[in-house]
Structure 1
Amino acid sequence: MERLLLFPQPFPDESLYSLAVRYHRLVANCSYRLTSQELFGTYSRTCGSILPCCLGALSQRLAAAYSVGELIRCFTLLPLYQPFLDDATYSAACIAMAGNHGNGLKMSLGLTASRFLKHASFRYCGSCVHEDTQNYGVAYWHRIHQAIGTCICPHHGEVLRAMAFPGRTDWRCMLLPAEADGTPVMESPSGTAASTIAEMQLWGFGHPSDVKTLLAGNFLKHRLDEMGFLKSGRIREQRLRAFLSPRLLESPRVNEFQEIAYSSDWALRILRPRRTVVQPLKFYFFCWLLDVNLEQLKCFHPKKDIRSGDLSFEKDTSNAADEIDIEARRSAFSSSSYLKCHDKPGYHWLHRHDREWLTQYVASHPFIRLRECLIDWKARDLAVARELLAANDLILSVEGKPQKITRAALDRRVACGHEFLRTPDNFPISIRRMNDLLESNHDYQVRKIKWAARHYLLSERCAVSVIYRFAGIRVSHVTEAEVFKLLSCMK
């Protein structure tokens, strides 16, 4: 693999695409395809993405000056998502970015489902362009400006501008900030959440371990408890929705925010993630909705006795209950006639003070929900069987050329035909009835010959080929003796 003889010196918070553009101009390449071959050894279609791939090949071409991990950490936006990913998902994302194909990468991080990507654009700050030109001699693309939901420069407080590439080109024309027309992504930033969220994202970008601590310590639920939206560790959903609704109306008039500002359902899903990846924008936006600022995020220290969102542990439990009290509560709990453990007396006390015993009890006494069958399958089976008989009679009574009695022909004339074919175990009588009614090729051709004899007044003197032609038979399943016998019986 060829080594790169030169490579630009990275600037602070510079994206990989920005480095590729500066390399492209440094070596005076005529097209992005040539630049991509030199940097990645292939035509990479992800260089302009916030999560580029082919980083393994680039690391080898740089003679290990940057490992794949350093390239991901220093020049991509994956560190912004790292706190919200488990170890397996993060490792898989790093492997995908190191390889030549990033199929499914954005889907695994929840970016595709979030619908934020359709509003992505190349954004820059005018003040950053001016300062970078003075300090480094050239403007460059900042990573934090490309983060989804960053509409205000966290360094200067200015509205970012989205650059429109000339003509119908895209990022492969290799331009730097402000080299084409740019339009503000929003109106005046005063009185909006955009600046606060931009500062939070910048801090989270540089401190993924601290954000991980926030998530592990259930920061959002601590905040809800402080605001009175929790009762016995449970969310007061109606009160929380009533509080969030007017706050959502104050959200920035930007496409990314409008994707989630119409409802508070996504906020509740953050509190109950259920193995889904939480988008950084949604987390920091939710923090702003709860009147949290950056300093509160920095100063948060999780309490040792908070587990899994159960905030009822905040009470002082240093004086442990004595053994007699524990045994009495265990006895009252286990002797209760209620089937559900949540309904038994003392459940919350045991959950707080004697959780290990409660866990073992619940595991050994599973609650089995008995569900009554809402459908009388036997009656439905008999009804379908009757419909099949009626369908059979209808097919046999059709005027004109006979129709073959097949599964499809019977199914079309039965109200719930698809249902009983998909669940044959629920329709044993109907399935047997259908199998009895199905017509073989031999029986079908016998009916066709009888019809042709009546319709065209055929006699025994007709040749067999003539009879077959009138009956529409190409491949015979009846013998000539049977044909003449049928014609003789028709007299």
Structure 2
Amino acid sequence: MLAFFPALYEDELLYSWFARYHVRSCNLSPKVTMAELYGSSSVMAVPDLPAHLRQVYGRLKHFDPPGIDEWIGQHTFFHYYTTFAKKDVRDRVFTEMLEGTSPGSIHMMTGAMASSVSESSVFRFCPKCADEDIKQYGETYWHMSHQLPGVLICPKHKHFLLNSSVSFRGKNKYVFHAATIPNCKRSQGLPMYSEKTMQKLLIIAKELIQFAHTDLSFTRSGVEQAYKYLLQKQGYATISGSVDQHTLAQQFSRFYGRELLEAVQSPVNSDNPSCWLKAITRKQRKAFHPIRHILLIHFLGESIDTFYRYGSQTYKPFGLPPYPCLNPAADHYLQPVIPNVKETICTDTRKPVGTFTCSCGFIYSRRGPDHSEEDRYKVGHVKQFGPVWQDKLHDLIHTKKLGYYAAAKQLKADIGTVKKYANQRQIAKDNSKKAGSTLPLESKREQWLFLQKENPKISVTEVRKCHQALYAWLYRHDRQWLQKNSLRMNKTAVKNQRVNWVERDQELVKEIKDAVNKLLKFPKPVRINRSRIGKKIGKLALLERHLAKLPQTNVYLNQVTESVEQFQIRRVRWAAKTLYNQHQDVVAWRIQRLAGLYKDIGEKVNREIDAQMDSYSNRRKEV
């Protein structure tokens, strides 16, 4: 039984812990140390994925050390190499690290040996961390996070890691080498990287260290689905999942730069059929190095903390149903009444096209994907206007005697379209005369009355949704009778009072002020525009159709609504404040990413970004 054993330090490799014991035990031969730890002198000293740990734990448990799960999870490369591996591989690696039944098999199982990303040939250290260790403990040690492939900077001190004189896998595989002042020399040249590369190397280091300490355990199918969803969302993949590899590689290389990609041994060549970026975004048939997963995840705007959310997400280029009807002639105009969307792919652009069919007969489509809430209310092409729209047009032109331009403005249609449909005279007022018999009309009337009688507790709208064809037929051919024999319409028909527009104008201003205050309090900024305000108070149609009768409302809306540039500036201020409160560096690329400014931005917005950086930089200096 061992008489003593040193304490295990935070983020210390088990290898380092055992090495410090070897130094303190004053054992002259490393074989003696091996025998004391493992019960055998033939076990190898492995720095990243050691085995036979159950044997060691059995010899140390009387010192009440941390549990063996913590040994493996917090003081080895276990999570680093198995987070993206299959579950059976994780389980086998864990078991092998406990038992050591198949020497040399662990690195084969993780795929580390087959990777083109090489590990460091020597142990590395942060000089500032070493100084802190000596001050606190009287000695330094090998930090696990400093040895991870891809970690080139110490996130705590933002200092480049230096090379020690100790080989990571020495010629003598049965010796533990502890970190000491002599083998951690400070007089070394530091690499010279651009500020952009430095910032990204720091982010990558933080991400790699975090998941090396965290039990995330992704599934292979979950990783594939997450990548597919995020690539589709960012526009690099079609709705069928086909990836535009050339554009992806081009943007990926531009985002990181050659300097960084070479530093982390992950250059991209889209002309190479075996390029790792192509392979990782297709069906994954092999393991990929963790650094490459982190590079892709960060490029797609996510982090190791958020990536897992997308493992079961299905891409919806037009958002979730229900979708709004955009028929200006319908009483449910702008209301979410369309239950689904038919998605196809544009043959020219390969982008998604959504076709929306409403029960009123109005069918429209648009090219996606939608990037904002406002996009849901855009029409790319009207495929069919339907009977409700045609009836309204006929009423405007032939009954109310409006001109083509006035009708076109009210129906939000092209003047040529209005002329075309106005002259077709498709609307029949009496289907019974046209058919030469009253039987079809009477039959449909009876059906409508029967449906209302059998469903007294549900509204006409609900009856209509269930029997769209019947309602549409009656609406087109027998509208007056339909209005008189609909329960809901009977109840509301008496409300034929004149509107007091002055009073309504004053009430609307109050409602809009309240809505704007609420919108400004959203955790993440949303653009203050007429459409969003109208939806917030549930009166968008009123604002669109009758604003001329609401002068106070119109003036106030012009005061509070934002241009695209004004909204971008507000997002910049929000992003800078958020970064500062989260104790992150308030730098341009972080502000742009958090504010969602991915396209070319104007001079005013750039000036605001600079102003925010200067402002928060001065605050930190004052603190």
Bin the TM-score by the shorter chain: 0.5 to 0.7
SS for the counterpart of 1:292 is coil
The range that moved more, 61-70 or 85-94, is: 61-70
Determine if contact 1:152/1:159 at 8 Å carries over to the other structure.
Answer: yes
1:136 paired residue number = 137
Is the counterpart of residue 209 in structure 1 residue 221 in structure 2? no
* CA distance in structure 2 between the aligned counterparts of 1:188 and 1:303, rounded to whole angstroms: 34
How far off its partner does 1:154 sit?
1.5
**Given the two structures, how large is their TM-score scaled by the length of structure 1?**
0.56
Determine if contact 1:162/1:185 at 8 Å carries over to the other structure.
Answer: no
* CA distance in structure 2 between the aligned counterparts of 1:253 and 1:242, rounded to whole angstroms: 13
Is the counterpart of residue 174 in structure 1 residue 177 in structure 2? yes
2:202 paired residue number = 195
Letter of the aligned partner of 2:269 in structure 1?
S
* CA distance in structure 2 between the aligned counterparts of 1:10 and 1:226, rounded to whole angstroms: 45
How far off its partner does 1:63 sit?
2.9
1:238 paired residue number = 246
Determine if contact 2:141/2:178 at 8 Å carries over to the other structure.
Answer: no
SS for the counterpart of 2:160 is coil
Determine if contact 1:40/1:58 at 8 Å carries over to the other structure.
Answer: yes
Determine if contact 1:152/1:198 at 8 Å carries over to the other structure.
Answer: yes
SS for the counterpart of 2:309 is coil
Determine if contact 1:217/1:306 at 8 Å carries over to the other structure.
Answer: no
Q: Unmatched 5+ residue regions in structure 2? A: 324-338, 343-352, 355-623
* CA distance in structure 2 between the aligned counterparts of 1:254 and 1:244, rounded to whole angstroms: 13
Determine if contact 1:217/1:302 at 8 Å carries over to the other structure.
Answer: no
1:154 paired residue number = 155
Determine if contact 1:204/1:211 at 8 Å carries over to the other structure.
Answer: no
* CA distance in structure 2 between the aligned counterparts of 1:5 and 1:14, rounded to whole angstroms: 22
Determine if contact 2:54/2:98 at 8 Å carries over to the other structure.
Answer: yes
Letter of the aligned partner of 2:79 in structure 1?
P
* CA distance in structure 1 between the aligned counterparts of 2:176 and 2:312, rounded to whole angstroms: 55
1:16-415 equivalence runs, <5 A: 16-43=14-41, 46-63=44-61, 65=64, 66-100=66-100, 101-117=102-118, 119-165=120-166, 172=175, 174-180=177-183, 182=185, 183=188, 186-188=191-193, 190-192=195-197, 193-209=200-216, 216=223, 218-232=225-239, 233-247=241-255, 249-252=257-260, 257-258=264-265, 260-263=266-269, 265-288=275-298, 290=299, 292=301, 294=303, 297-299=304-306, 302=309, 306-307=313-314, 311-312=315-316, 315-317=319-321
Determine if contact 1:36/1:42 at 8 Å carries over to the other structure.
Answer: yes
Determine if contact 1:69/1:94 at 8 Å carries over to the other structure.
Answer: no
* CA distance in structure 1 between the aligned counterparts of 2:19 and 2:306, rounded to whole angstroms: 39
Q: Deviations over 1:307-361 (max 9, x none)?
A: 4xxx247632458xxxxx99xx9xxxxxxxxxxxxxxxxxx99xxxxxxxxxxxx
* CA distance in structure 2 between the aligned counterparts of 1:30 and 1:187, rounded to whole angstroms: 42
Q: Deviations over 1:203-252 (max 9, x none)?
A: 22233328779955944444433432122132122211222344464343
SS for the counterpart of 1:18 is helix
Check 1:277–1:43 CA distance in 2 against 1; reply closer, same or farther (3 A cut).
farther
Check 1:305–1:277 CA distance in 2 against 1; reply closer, same or farther (3 A cut).
closer
How far off its partner does 1:96 sit?
1.4
Q: Deviations over 1:109-148 (max 9, x none)?
A: 1101113345443111001000111112111111111111
* CA distance in structure 2 between the aligned counterparts of 1:180 and 1:132, rounded to whole angstroms: 15
Determine if contact 2:297/2:307 at 8 Å carries over to the other structure.
Answer: no
Determine if contact 1:15/1:75 at 8 Å carries over to the other structure.
Answer: yes
How far off its partner does 1:301 sit?
7.4
Letter of the aligned partner of 2:76 in structure 1?
T
Determine if contact 2:208/2:294 at 8 Å carries over to the other structure.
Answer: yes
Tell me which structure has the larger Cα radius of gyration: 1
How far off its partner does 1:293 sit?
6.5
Q: Deviations over 1:176-205 (max 9, x none)?
A: 154315556743473213211101112222
Determine if contact 1:41/1:57 at 8 Å carries over to the other structure.
Answer: yes
Letter of the aligned partner of 1:292 in structure 2?
G
How far off its partner does 1:303 sit?
5.9
1:364 paired residue number = none
Quote the sequence identity (%).
22
* CA distance in structure 2 between the aligned counterparts of 1:173 and 1:184, rounded to whole angstroms: 27
Determine if contact 2:48/2:76 at 8 Å carries over to the other structure.
Answer: yes
* CA distance in structure 2 between the aligned counterparts of 1:240 and 1:119, rounded to whole angstroms: 29
2:4 paired residue number = 6
The range that moved more, 133-142 or 168-177, is: 168-177
SS for the counterpart of 2:163 is strand
Letter of the aligned partner of 1:315 in structure 2?
G
Letter of the aligned partner of 1:137 in structure 2?
G
Q: Unmatched 5+ residue regions in structure 1? A: 320-324, 330-347, 350-491
* CA distance in structure 2 between the aligned counterparts of 1:29 and 1:314, rounded to whole angstroms: 69
The range that moved more, 260-269 or 169-178, is: 169-178
Check 1:305–1:273 CA distance in 2 against 1; reply closer, same or farther (3 A cut).
closer
* CA distance in structure 2 between the aligned counterparts of 1:185 and 1:266, rounded to whole angstroms: 29
Check 1:165–1:301 CA distance in 2 against 1; reply closer, same or farther (3 A cut).
closer
Check 1:150–1:208 CA distance in 2 against 1; reply closer, same or farther (3 A cut).
same
Letter of the aligned partner of 1:282 in structure 2?
R
2:382 paired residue number = none
